[in-house]
Structure 1
């Protein structure tokens, strides 16, 4: 087991529920000191995870938060998300808010954390999405922001090397406490799971394990990379169409 994160300080943005909670828990299992920052505390406190109230859309508050940390070794930019909204159903300002949350706030946090990370020779893990590399109808602004996040991470990895490593964890579909809002009930989750080659949605712990790997010394020579954590992606639709055609 890689024990390189034991005793190190890890900040997980949006680390109070869903994927973020899975990431925070995974880091606690390594013996790291984990701080989860979000606007609201978790409904049930996580053992071993410190909570810090922070609005990531407030740059001065973000700078103050990171400046006050005695040390920082890893920043996981997880906070983000978007409601289902077709492009023509909202104005540009509404879509811009989604882009701000999913692209600008990770940039804000990373810049605020840079000096701390540089001193620690630490790393940044961006939590991206498969929506950033494929059409994302209903969440187009989110997909565009995640595409930008991946490019930002690659540029950041070059500019901040060799002191700070920067990578993107490209997450596929994840089953969380809010999955019913996206996929419906159990039947919906089961139907969506059948489109994934590994036959299931990711668990938050799957994403957490990948984040731990990218932040650990086991990934010491990995920077500017995008790690796909999506269960094999999606079964191509043409294969199902071809199969159906043969059966008829």
Structure 2
């Protein structure tokens, strides 16, 4: 799973999951371009930073047109605050969809010519929120469901020149984990709900990204790889009075 001499672009690559992905790509030998609104607080070895708001189509097209080469695109930029549907108007929820679904489409289209020339690959960073109810982040979950569908269609339309796959990511421990799960006790309690007994680390997502971007996955396209530590224990098992050994 080596990427020596490859050029990889990671959107939202300056912190959290994106930073973990960037580090893994660098370790695999890739030259990494980080695209984000803000530069990393500390320069990251083996990377180049390009300021970019992926919600600005003209800026996206301009930045990608200036790149001399690209072999791998990682559509990682995204996210959403906790917000109940009735707590905001449709326009505000639409901005979440714009960031998590429309922007990856914009970026992928801007990268198309580069990737076609290099027989490259796209890795979409999806979420388990796209496959289950996501109260409080409903627009985010809907966008991630759409992103996975978009990736499958891209994989067919752009074959055989470009491979497109999705990492369906579960809960990850990052510098912002407290905003989602609370204090250390809360994070520990949430970790116990994962079959593998812990939250993912950004490095876990990075390793899976390297795999999908590498020649080890040369015959994998249109796939959704679950990176969620085994998923979620069904709630009914804890409520049931039978088979308590499960």
Q: For 1:199, which of 197, 200, 217 is the aligned residue?
A: 197
Deviation at 1:242?
A: 2.1
Q: For 2:13 and 2:241, locate their aligned partners in 1 and report how far apart those are by CA, in whole Å.
A: 42
| TM alignment of 1:22-171, pairs within 5 A | 22-171=20-169
Distance 2:99 2:233 in 1: 30
Q: Find the aligned partners of 1:243 and 1:199 in 2 and give their Cα distance.
A: 24
**Secondary structure at the residue paired with 1:95?**
helix
Unaligned runs of 5+ in 2: none
Q: How high is the TM-score relative to the length of structure 1?
A: 0.97
3-state DSSP class of the match of 1:37?
strand
In the TM superposition, residue 243 of structure 1 has moved relative to its aligned partner by 5.6
In the TM superposition, residue 47 of structure 1 has moved relative to its aligned partner by: 1.4
Residues in 2 aligned to 1:94 and 1:153: alpha-carbon distance in whole angstroms: 25
Shift of 1:64: 1.0
- Structure 1 residue runs of 5 or longer lacking an equivalent are none
What is aligned with 1:187?
185
TM-aligned CA deviation for residue 211 of structure 1: 0.5
- CA offset at residue 60 of structure 1? 1.1
Contact 2:170/2:229 (8 A) holds in 1: yes
TM-score, structure 2 normalization = 0.97
Question: In structure 2, how many angstroms separate the alpha carbons of the residues matched to 1:246 and 1:198?
Answer: 19
CA root-mean-square deviation: 1.3
DSSP 3-state at the match of 1:223: coil
Whether 1:239 aligns to 2:237 is yes
2:101–2:143 Cα contact (<8 Å) kept: yes
Q: Hey, what does 1:16 align to over in structure 2?
A: 14
Q: Secondary structure at the match of 1:101?
A: helix
Shift of 1:246: 5.9
Judging changes above 3 Å, is the alpha-carbon distance between structure 1 residues 88 and 71 closer, same or farther for their aligned structure 2 residues? same
